Amino acid sequence: MSEDIVPRLESYLARVLAQPDLEVSALARIPGGASRETYRFRIRYGGGGAQTERGLILRRDPPASLIETERATEYRAYQAFHALGLPVPEPIALEESGDFLGRPFFIMEEIENCQVGNILASNPYGDHRDQIGQQFFGALGRIAQADVDAIGLGDLDGTRDPARCWSHELERWQKVIEEDETEPQPIVHAGLRWLRRNPPPPAQRISVVHGDYRTGNFLFDAKGDIRAILDWEMTHLGDPLEDLAWALDPLWSHGDPSRPAGTIARPQALAIWEKESGIRLDTAALAWWEIFASLKGCAIWMSAAREYAQGRNTDPVNAFSGWYCLAFHNNVLAERLGAA
């Protein structure tokens, strides 16, 4: 089935890159989450002179998506942060019609010889744990620090009103919960009420929020360097604490919440983020966003469960998310709110 799209991909890229002799080879689907189909392939062109060969990644919309996301937004985020010098793959092409590959897609550079940390592994980074943690929270601080207008993302979805960041996101995810709740979730409803009754202070700055900054969404190499921050599909404007809280979430801590993302100690992670972002951390505000993170997780996993249960997207990752991850976040939310 993958091979069926090779001629179409070849003709599309030959036109976009103005390389009539471009050839596509070694197309193979790779794991890349349930929200887009991900393929690795190689291109070669320049037969008459200096020949160029490189690896690329194709991200194509599936028949049904886990969450409704804007591929154009994701593509623009890749453009902006690649230009800023963050470890982000170079975006190559965005196609929003289904004219070429049946569904919309985008293409970006393949970052080779890297791996993703498995969220179920107890120590996915081995001896590079500290180095990866420093880079992970440092890069997140740099995302928070970036001027949204200067990098051309000032018009993203979200809000530019610091006082409304929390309510904007809460309303967004409450809508998802209302639409995708296939079995009653009493802890989630309690979470919604608590978050509304106990609002955080206004955001200190409006930043680009990655939206899913965590273990599993970055690539690292054998030297322990983060080479690519991926999956910008939920990028929006908002309070940078939203991203920090998500990155700190116990689901990504590999069994030890005192070492977020399975890397460095939490105080060190927060200190690095503060230094790189230039934002002095408000711990009360962060506590609100951490509870919100658990609720947002529940909303995403409820969507995954619904997609799978109703047969719209039977990727087994959706079954895992809708079962394991939902149970995990329900437990985190209950423990946090039951003590609040």
Q: How many whole angstroms separate alpha carbon 144 and alpha carbon 62?
A: 30
How many angstroms separate the first and last alpha carbons of the chain?
A: 52
Compute the least distance from the CB of residue 27 to other proteins, in Å: 11
Q: How many whole angstroms separate alpha carbon 97 and alpha carbon 104?
A: 5
Closer residue to other proteins in complex, CB, 85/338: 338
**What does the chain come to in residues?**
340
Closer residue to other proteins in complex, CB, 160/324: 324
Compute the least distance from the CB of residue 252 to other proteins, in Å: 15
Using CA atoms, how far residue 201 sits from 44, 167, 169, in Å, is: 53, 11, 14
Compute the least distance from the CB of residue 329 to other proteins, in Å: 9
Compute the least distance from the CB of residue 14 to other proteins, in Å: 26
Residues contributing to the site for other proteins (CB under 8 A): 28-31, 118, 120-122, 183-187, 189-190, 193, 197, 315-317, 319-320, 323-324, 327-328, 330-331, 333-335, 337-338
Compute the least distance from the CB of residue 65 to other proteins, in Å: 18
Compute the least distance from the CB of residue 107 to other proteins, in Å: 18
Q: How many whole angstroms separate alpha carbon 59 and alpha carbon 79?
A: 15
Closer residue to other proteins in complex, CB, 52/118: 118
Q: Which of 107, 76, 87 is nearest to 208 (CA)?
A: 76
Q: How many whole angstroms separate alpha carbon 45 and alpha carbon 21?
A: 6
Closer residue to other proteins in complex, CB, 265/317: 317
Q: What angle do CA 316, 322, 328 make, to 5 degrees?
A: 120
Closer residue to other proteins in complex, CB, 89/240: 89
Compute the least distance from the CB of residue 320 to other proteins, in Å: 6
Closer residue to other proteins in complex, CB, 51/198: 198
* Residue 243 one-letter amino acid: D
Compute the least distance from the CB of residue 241 to other proteins, in Å: 25
Q: Which residues pair with 54 in a beta bridge?
A: 43
Closer residue to other proteins in complex, CB, 240/322: 322
Closer residue to other proteins in complex, CB, 84/317: 317
Compute the least distance from the CB of residue 289 to other proteins, in Å: 21
Closer residue to other proteins in complex, CB, 277/330: 330
Give me the long-range contacts of 314-318 (CB less than 8 A, separation at least 24).
315/34, 315/62, 317/33, 317/34, 318/34, 318/66
